[in-house]
Amino acid sequence: MKILYIVPYVPNLIRVRPYNLIRHLARLGHEVTAATVVSQRTERQDIETLRGICHEVFSIDMPFRRSLRQSATALVQGIPMQSRYSWHPALFKQISDALKQKDGHDGFDVVHVEHLRGIEYGLRLLDWLGEVKELAALPVIWDSVDCISSLMRQTRRRGSSAKSRFIAALETGNTAKYERRGVQSFDRVLVTSPVDQAALADTDQGMASRWKIDVLPNGVDLDYFQLGSGDRHPDTIVISGKMSYHANVTMVTYLVNEIMPLVWSRKPEVRLQIVGKDPPPSIQAMAKNENIVVTGTVKDIRPYLQQATLAVVPITYGTGIQNKILEAMACATPVIVSAPAAASLLAIPNRDYVVVETAGQFAEAILDLLDDDHKRIELGMAGRLYVEQNHDWHVIAAKLAAIYESAAYEKKRKLEEMSLLVGQGKEA
């Protein structure tokens, strides 16, 4: 198939979902044209990498000030700030020009739009396609990824900072309305988990559109994330993620303030590595504790996962599948997670990973695993097998291609039925 893939940030090894879906769709023999915005100079190299994968890449520079200005305008207009954060009319013109140039037998078979940040491109594209008869049968798929309004509701209750709670309070209602519009408008909608599928369906109170929300889980690059040499640092815990993300800040704060003191009271030699880009001052300050290392951005996260004794994900709120869990499992690192982090996975507790509820249970699980070499090895190998069976990007990309084909067939059939009804009306 010929796929037009619109993504509101440059796909790369950090933005793993679009990067790996595009890469594996191409490996399956599909022709992918990507359209994206570039917000940082460092992303220019990522664009060149993308050109090596895609048939063609459209891109436009998006200065941070422009994103902020558009987000502020969106707030005044009563629409989600994220929906305008990456909007650029020049990129939309490149997209529409490409569609006009490639109509007919050589045209695109499907348009894929990612995230709430990309929804404006998709909604405007649907309006534009409605005026172009030759492209009326082109299906437009929206990958919501997560239910963002659900995340906003959780942030309002549990966010670690007043700022994140305030923004969530402003955005929740507008986001739910826009997600409802997306569910009702696009030919198919994707999310990463059944939990997000149910939450997104609930935004569509009429329930008429629930049938077209598909679960397409996140995967992990099993060639990249491999088992290490087997030499792990003793009594070393790793926690990873983008540390500027409010849910991760809350998670790390909860770990350091509520869980680790219980661990250190019985095992003071345990070391904690906080690994991830852009840690705020509150997390950087944690490095004053001699048992805590805050790395900031690292070139390669794999050594930290492969050499740690175990990985922890004590997330208190969030949506979708946590890639940090899959990556640790792929490295055969035993993982302990909180119940909210486990909700979106099919993994079996106490076989593939350990799931706990409270800070006390989390500390006990850490101490038990640190003292049980055999159990750690069993959990690590079971976790690796789980991701091999359930989160292989190649398999997920093949499922996505099948969704594309189904959406194209359904839209063509619907248009034929409408044409038939119009014809019958004229005859009558």
Phi, psi of 108 (to 5 degrees): -70, 150
Question: Rounded to whole angstroms, how far apart are CA atoms 220 and 329?
Answer: 9
Q: Which residues touch 360 (CB under 8 Å, ≥6 apart)?
A: 262
Q: Going residue by residue through the chain (428 aa), what tens digit of pLDDT does each one get?
A: 999 999 999 999 888 999 999 999 999 999 999 999 999 888 999 999 999 999 999 999 999 999 999 999 999 999 999 999 999 999 999 999 999 886 544 689 999 999 999 999 999 999 999 888 788 889 999 999 999 999 899 888 888 788 888 999 999 999 999 999 999 999 999 999 988 998 998 887 756 566 789 999 999 999 999 988 778 999 999 999 999 888 899 999 999 999 999 999 999 999 999 999 999 999 999 999 999 999 999 989 999 999 999 999 999 887 778 899 999 999 999 999 999 889 889 899 999 999 999 999 999 999 999 999 999 999 999 999 999 999 999 999 999 999 999 999 988 888 877 766 655 555 54
Structure tokens at 353: 């990973």
- Half-sphere exposure of 348 toward its Cβ, with a 13 Å CA cutoff? 6
Nearest-angstrom CA–CA distance, 389 and 53: 25
Q: Could you tell me the two tokens for 347?
A: 């993994």
For the range 249-252, what are the long-range contacts, defined as Cβ-Cβ under 8 Å and sequence gap of 24 or more?
249/160, 249/161, 249/280, 249/282, 249/283, 250/158, 250/159, 250/160, 250/315, 250/316, 250/317, 251/313, 251/314, 251/315, 251/316, 252/283, 252/286
Tokens 């969704």 belong to 403
Name the pTM for this structure: 0.87
Contacts of 349 (CB under 8 A, 6+ apart): 342, 355
Of all helices (H) and strands (E), which one includes residue 43?
helix 43-51
Q: Record the tokens describing residue 1, joined without a space.
A: 């198939």
Q: Which amino acid is at 17?
A: R
Q: Which residues contact 418 (CB under 8 A, 6 or more apart)?
A: none
Q: Evaluate whether 203 touches 180 at the Cβ level (below 8 Å).
A: yes
pLDDT score recorded for residue 230 = 75
Residues 6+ away with beta carbon under 8 Å from 91: 35, 36, 37, 58, 59, 60, 121
The vertex-426 CA angle with 421 and 428, nearest 5°, equals 95
Q: Is 105 helix (H, G, I), strand (E, B) or coil?
A: helix
First CA to last CA distance, the chain: 40
CB under 8 A, 24+ apart: contacts of 421-427: none
DSSP state of 289: S
Contact present, 237 and 310 (Cβ < 8 Å): yes
The Cα 57–Cα 326 span in angstroms is: 29
Strand-by-strand arrangement of the 110-114 sheet: 56-61, 31-38, 2-7, 110-114, 140-145, 188-191, 213-215
Residue pair 320/193 in contact by the 8 Å Cβ criterion: yes
| 3-class state of residue 136 by DSSP | coil
For 90, 337, 371, 394, the CA distances from 153, given in Å and listed in that order, are 34, 22, 39, 33
Distances (CA, A) of 317 to 5, 257, 305, 307, 350: 30, 17, 23, 27, 22
> Amino acid letter at 65?
R
- Separation between Cα atoms, residue 217 and residue 145, nearest integer Å: 9
